Amino acid sequence: MKRRGRLPWRLLWRLTLLLVAALVVYESWFFGKVVWWIWVNPTNTAFMEARLEDMREKNPKARLRHKWVPYADISVNLKRALIAAEDAKFLDHDGFDWRAIQRAASKNLKRGKVVAGGSTISQQLSKNLFLSGSRTPWRKLQEAAITVMIETVMSKRRILEIYLNVIEWGNGVFGAEAAARHYYRTSALGLSADQSARLAAMVPNPRYYDRVRTTEALDKKTEIILSRMHLSTVP
């Protein structure tokens, strides 16, 4: 009788061990990719693949506009603008800006819906590289885990380099080089301070601003970013 009573517990223990082992293997895959990307440039991301799939539902021949360029070939203006716009404490935090997260949570609670985010550049990169656009608790936990991995093994310079090369900047437009060509017919290295501030202002809603190039809100945000760029320190 005692042996029978122990069986469910043994089975539960073994199942728990199997689940833990599966989780370790699953997270190790993410960590392996992050380590690989210390030296190797990502050719695409989960977000790119999702966008291309959506585009090809309307046009089977649709293609993304994307060209990787080295960190040194991207204007310092754009680097300063993105840090000013998206993550002013980029060089100081370990992947999470807790004050920004708290402010965003308070603002969302007052509005009763998600109207602000406190994601850092590292968190945004985690989502773009690996995850979907859903807002499930599991996805947020996975984003946090990948953010810790990225911040642990990558330099801030490498994080910013990958981020600049993979974020969305329009309908099928990804990365600084493609964005500079698409909007200004110049290279990522040739972007001026004004152009960089405007591109940074587009980041939260790039497909909309690809269609509607000038709005009062976009102009205002561009001016704010431009006024703060001199305070940004780049890696």
CATH of the domain at 117: 1.10.3810.10
Helix and strand element counts for the chain (H, E)? 11, 3
Are 55 and 19 in a shared domain? no
Each residue of 167-176: pLDDT tens digit? 999 999 999 9
Are 50 and 86 in a shared domain? yes
Question: What burial letters (b/e) apply to 100-128, b meaning 16+ CB within 10 Å?
Answer: beeebeeeeeeeeeeeebbbbbbbbbbbb
Each residue of 58-100: pLDDT tens digit? 999 999 999 999 999 999 999 999 999 999 999 999 888 878 6
pLDDT for position 27: 87
Let me know if 46 is exposed, middle or buried by CB neighbors in 10 A (0-12, 13-18, 19+).
middle
Are 50 and 141 in a shared domain? yes
Each residue of 106-135: pLDDT tens digit? 665 665 544 445 689 999 999 999 976 666
Task: Report the Cα–Cα distance between both ends of the chain, in Å, rounded.
Answer: 67
Are 28 and 54 in a shared domain? no
Are 8 and 103 in a shared domain? no
Are 166 and 120 in a shared domain? yes
Each residue of 8-40: pLDDT tens digit? 887 777 787 888 788 788 888 999 999 999 999
Are 76 and 157 in a shared domain? yes
Are 166 and 201 in a shared domain? yes
Residue 38: CA count within 13 A, CB half-sphere: 13
Strands 173-174 and 65-66: parallel
Domain enclosing residue 19, as ranges: 1-36
pLDDT for position 118: 67
Flag whether pLDDT at 2 surpasses 60: no
- In angstroms, rounded to a whole number, what is the distance separating the alpha carbons of residues 204 and 201? 7
CB under 8 Å to 197, separation ≥6 — which residues? Answer: 77, 81, 85, 222, 223, 225, 226, 229
Flag whether pLDDT at 189 surpasses 70: yes
3 state DSSP class of 78? helix
- Mean pLDDT (the chain, rounded): 89
> Following DSSP, what letter does each residue of 199-224 receive, concatenated?
HHHHTTSHHHHHH----HHHHHHHHH
Residues 177/59, Cβ–Cβ less than 8 Å: no
Are 14 and 114 in a shared domain? no
> Following DSSP, what letter does each residue of 5-50 receive, concatenated?
HHHHHHHHHHHHHHHHHHHHHHHHHHHHHHHHTTTS--S--HHHHH
What value does the mean pLDDT take over residues 195-211?
97
Flag whether pLDDT at 217 surpasses 70: yes
pLDDT for position 109: 60
